[in-house]
Amino acid sequence: MIKFLLGVIVGILIFLLFTYFGGGKTVTKIGEGLTDTGKKIEAVEGVMKEAIRKETDETLQGMKKKLLKEEKDLQKSTQ
């Protein structure tokens, strides 16, 4: 019970200090920073997705070429 009351008192104290030292302005600044960070992360994700897609396409093309070559060699050897 004492821990609970201590937690409530600490919570109220943190709330009062938060509102005293800026409150809404602080939240606005943090929100703007998070928005900018989110935009940067989206840009990085786009670049990474494109790079992964390119690598996957190149790998698949290489595998197809190899399979076709092996298939041709197999047909030549059976003739």
On the 0-12 / 13-18 / 19+ scale of CB atoms within 10 A, 67 is: exposed
Is residue 10 included in any domain, yes or no?
Answer: no
Is residue 8 included in any domain, yes or no?
Answer: no
Check whether 49 has a pLDDT greater than 80. yes
With cut-offs at 50, 70 and 90, classify the pLDDT of residue 9. very high
Is residue 6 included in any domain, yes or no?
Answer: no
Looking at residue 5, what is its pLDDT?
Answer: 94
pTM: 0.48
Is residue 7 included in any domain, yes or no?
Answer: no
Is residue 74 included in any domain, yes or no?
Answer: yes
Domain range for 50 is: 18-78
Mean pLDDT (the chain, rounded): 86
Check whether 79 has a pLDDT greater than 70. no
Number of folded domains in the chain?
1
Check whether 64 has a pLDDT greater than 70. yes
